[in-house]
Structure 1
Amino acid sequence: MRSIKHFDNTGTARFVTFSCHYNYNLFKTKIVKDIFIKQLIVSHKKHNFKFYGYVIMPNHVHLVLLPLDGLKLSNIIRELKSLSAREIISYWKTLNLQIFDRLKVIRGGQEMFAFWQRKYYDHNCRTKETTIEKINYCHNNPVVKGLVTKPEDWEWSSYRWYHGLENILIEMDPLE
């Protein structure tokens, strides 16, 4: 398996993408998206990073953030993926869903369930313009994929915060 190079501690905003196991559409229901949103809020409160943008798509997530004070991006992403996966899988277990057969993996000799792919991708946003471009990419992704006709119609992105609309799910940090 090819290794993905990550550059921690660059002092620049980062555009991050991570995907669901086998690119399955695991974010089909509002409750699963809401669980991820909750864990994202917890992570933002716990860790020292600026949070500039996001979108939750059916099979992947994009984030735009800036780790501060030497905080490693990998630590943020690892914890966010772990906590959200645990809570979502725990919720699904109460429903006894058949999806579990497709999510079984063997890691470290133990059978478990994988919600996320193990890797993530990140891009250094070296300028404010690039950061804005990636935030806009997040907002337009649901339109490009045919999920909605206008960015404001997709509830699970930072678009509403940037445009002063109602039903904001997460407060963003102002882009400096």
Structure 2
Amino acid sequence: MRYRRANVPGGSYFFTVNLAERRLRLLVDHVALLRTSVQRVKKSHPFYIDAFVVLPDHLHAIWTLPSGDADFATRWMLIKSGFSRQIARDERINASRRRKGERGIWQRRYWEHSIRDEQDYQRHVDYIHYNPVKHGYVSRPADGAHSSIHRAIAKGMLESDWGVGGLVEDRGDVGER
């Protein structure tokens, strides 16, 4: 079966990308390597990061691609492989991955969703910013260390107490797969 992905040139997309072993903390333990990998890919394959959060075992992002470009798959492949090359080779690798010469750091697939409209966009941005609270890592979204919420607060788009005390509407589970 061929896996079909959304294809909206110049569109905005929401992503969930997971580690293969969800018990690991590779993403926060090596967040500088992840940032480097993302920045390198942005230079060669431009895109705008609308929102981003990095948790120990997964990340969420919203990207807007350049006009006429819908190739987020290449960008994720380059980010994941660039990050993986910088990590020590001590992960568990199953037989299938070993036969294909693959590392065992990332889940092979990731979740993507083509943003439909402004309400959908805002719902997913809120989800990203609230995710560290949802998973119990922090009690306030602004306390999340690796979140674009800090950029939104600095630009005056959100207050530093956003998401505290029920300020975030429960919009359901938009991104955990």
TM over 0.5: yes
Question: Aligned pair in 2 of structure 1 residues 153, 103: CA closer, same or farther (>3 Å)?
Answer: farther
Quick check: 1:149 aligned with 2:139?
Answer: yes
Any unmatched runs of 5+ in structure 2? 156-177
Identity, in percent, stands at 21
Structure 2 counterpart of 1:140: 130
Any unmatched runs of 5+ in structure 1? 94-99, 166-176
User: Contact 1:142 / 1:154 at 8 angstroms: preserved in 2?
Assistant: yes
Among 27, 45, 48, the alignment partner of 2:46 is 48
Structure 1 counterpart of 2:153: 163
| Matched letter for residue 37 of structure 2 | Q
Q: Which moved more, 1:11-20 or 1:63-72?
A: 63-72
User: TM-score, normalization: structure 1?
Assistant: 0.76
Which one has the bigger strand percentage?
1
Residue 54 of structure 1: SS of its match in structure 2? strand
Q: In the TM superposition, what are the counterparts of 1:1-150 in structure 2 within 5 Å?
A: 4-27=3-26, 29-30=28-29, 32-68=30-66, 69-87=68-86, 89=87, 92=88, 100=90, 102-103=92-93, 106-107=96-97, 109=99, 113-150=103-140
The Cα of 1:131 is off from its aligned counterpart by 1.4
Matches of 1:80 and 1:105 in 2, distance apart? 24
User: Contact 1:51 / 1:66 at 8 angstroms: preserved in 2?
Assistant: yes
Question: Aligned pair in 2 of structure 1 residues 38, 101: CA closer, same or farther (>3 Å)?
Answer: closer
Matches of 2:135 and 2:71 in 1, distance apart? 31
User: Contact 2:16 / 2:58 at 8 angstroms: preserved in 1?
Assistant: yes
User: Contact 1:104 / 1:113 at 8 angstroms: preserved in 2?
Assistant: no
1:54-83 CA distances to partner (integer Å, 9 max, x unpaired)? 111111111100122324111111111110
The root-mean-square deviation of aligned C-alpha atoms, in Å, is 2.3
User: TM-score, normalization: structure 2?
Assistant: 0.76
Matches of 2:102 and 2:6 in 1, distance apart? 30
Residue 34 of structure 1: SS of its match in structure 2? helix
How many positions carry a matched residue from both structures? 154
The Cα of 1:10 is off from its aligned counterpart by 4.3
User: Contact 1:9 / 1:72 at 8 angstroms: preserved in 2?
Assistant: no
The Cα of 1:155 is off from its aligned counterpart by 1.2
Matches of 1:48 and 1:111 in 2, distance apart? 28
Deviation beyond 6 Å, 4+ runs, structure 1: none
1:68-112 CA distances to partner (integer Å, 9 max, x unpaired)? 23241111111111101111x2xx35xxxxxx2524554363655
